[in-house]
Amino acid sequence: MFDNSFVPATTAMIFVGAMIVVLLFDVIILGRRPHVPSNRETGTALGFYVGLAVAFGIYVWVVGGHQLGGEFFAGWLTEYSLSVDNLFIFIIIMANLKVPRMYQQYALLVGIVIALILRAIFIMLGAQAIEAWSWVFYIFGAFLIYTAVKLAMENLSDDDEEDEGESKLIKFVQRVLPFTESWEHGKKMRAVENGKRVFTPMLLVILALGMTDLLFALDSIPAIFGLTQDPFLVLMANIFALMGLRQLYFLIGNLLQKLVYLGIGLAVLLAFIGVKLIFHAMHVNELPFLNNGEPFLWAPEIPIWLSLTMIVGILGITTVASLIKSGRDARQREREQLELDEVSTTGFYGRDDQSDPQVSDPGDPSGR
């Protein structure tokens, strides 16, 4: 899998093994008991994971050169932003299935492990496909452009259908298997109630998270292959993007709702990478029915510095615009609430009812 990487396969396996050890530490030690992590716990762990990613990127920059270093940082930022978008779906799943907050950490850990396994499989398949057929870049590019258009339409539409796939899966499983709605069994996926073996809501949560992970892997893997074709960098970027996702969920879960333009920004980002993949496919074209199987010499190769600049720029503009929009909406809601409060205390005529000249004083015998 790592034969075409910039480091020997043994070195790559050591790095991957070290990341697995860190993941096991997170799962077994940090997540060993159901609890709501404190801001200090989540902030410390998140800072550690981000620091690891930056340190690895510097290592790649020094050992592999600025080109590969830039590819890693571009891929990591892209995967991280897609993972943050993934958190929106996680929040919806947790809310719909009424997961107690103390068990959300365990559910997220399982979801992240599933995501790592699925992405590793897709990375292996993608690397083999790219090595065997250069025209796969056409498919990846077209798929990313389609995904970008679909994502933009979903964010511009008022319809909320992003959890429709998970809802159908949940309803089907609940129909064919015996389930309990009680969370008294905690993290267990099977339990005994009234002498009968039943499945618990935790199984539904894990199935929904796994379905979400699968769908997001289909988007994220072609995206990062548009930035680097080194399978080692692709895998490490995905690992670092998923590590710390649990802590990010608890640390800025409420702030995620303020990133109202994140979906639009990601749509632009995916469209850019999709176009980049199409240009790369044209540059190495081997399809006989396109340009007689010859490369399109005029097709530009977008340099990694431009890709990294676009990624940082798009995410930065998206974040700033989202915060400005959220702040403006919050102030507007406060003004509307103040106006409603004022109307409720002074009446629609701007004065107390007793001072209305058209309201007769019951003590006045003239009735005026």
**How far apart are the C-alpha atoms of 95 and 141, rounded to whole Å?**
34
Does residue 27 form part of some domain? yes
Look at residue 363 and tell me whether its pLDDT is greater than 60: no
- Convert the pLDDT of each residue in 272-321 to its tens digit: 888 888 888 887 778 888 878 788 888 888 888 888 888 888 888 988 88
Does residue 4 form part of some domain? no
| Sign of the torsion angle spanned by Cα atoms 162, 166, 169, 175 | negative
Look at residue 150 and tell me whether its pLDDT is greater than 80: yes
| Sign of the torsion angle spanned by Cα atoms 275, 278, 280, 283 | negative
- Convert the pLDDT of each residue in 211-222 to its tens digit: 777 777 777 788
Residue appearing with tokens 């008991």: 33
Residue appearing with tokens 């005026």: 368
**How far apart are the C-alpha atoms of 23 and 17, rounded to whole Å?**
10
Q: What is the mean pLDDT of the chain?
A: 78
- Do residues 240 and 53 lie in contact, with contact meaning Cβ atoms separated by under 8 Å? yes
- Do residues 215 and 150 lie in contact, with contact meaning Cβ atoms separated by under 8 Å? no
- Convert the pLDDT of each residue in 235-253 to its tens digit: 888 888 887 777 777 766 6
Give the count of domains, the chain. Answer: 1
Nearest to 312 by CA among 9, 101, 70: 70
Show the DSSP H helices in the chain as ranges. 9-24, 39-64, 66-96, 101-132, 136-156, 164-176, 201-225, 231-242, 245-251, 262-283, 304-346
User: What is the three-class DSSP state of 365?
Assistant: coil
Does residue 350 form part of some domain? no
- In angstroms, the Cα distances linking 346 to 122, 332, 337, 361 are 64, 21, 14, 19
Alpha carbon 33 to its chain's center = 25
**Average pLDDT of the segment spanning 50-71:** 91
For 88, residues 6+ apart whose C-beta sits below 8 A from its C-beta are 162, 256, 262
**Average pLDDT of the segment spanning 97-124:** 80
C-alpha triplet 168, 170, 173: angle, nearest 5°: 105
**Average pLDDT of the segment spanning 125-138:** 81
Alpha carbon 318 to its chain's center = 15
- Convert the pLDDT of each residue in 312-352 to its tens digit: 888 889 888 888 888 888 788 777 777 776 666 665 455 54
Does residue 278 form part of some domain? yes
Does residue 361 form part of some domain? no
- In angstroms, the Cα distances linking 77 to 19, 115, 128, 240, 307 are 18, 17, 24, 10, 11
pTM, rounded to two decimals? 0.73
- Convert the pLDDT of each residue in 165-221 to its tens digit: 556 767 777 778 787 777 777 778 788 877 788 888 888 888 888 777 777 777 778
Does residue 100 form part of some domain? yes
Q: Which domain holds residue 163?
A: 9-345
Does residue 232 form part of some domain? yes
Residue appearing with tokens 């997961």: 99
Look at residue 28 and tell me whether its pLDDT is greater than 80: no
**How far apart are the C-alpha atoms of 281 and 46, rounded to whole Å?**
37
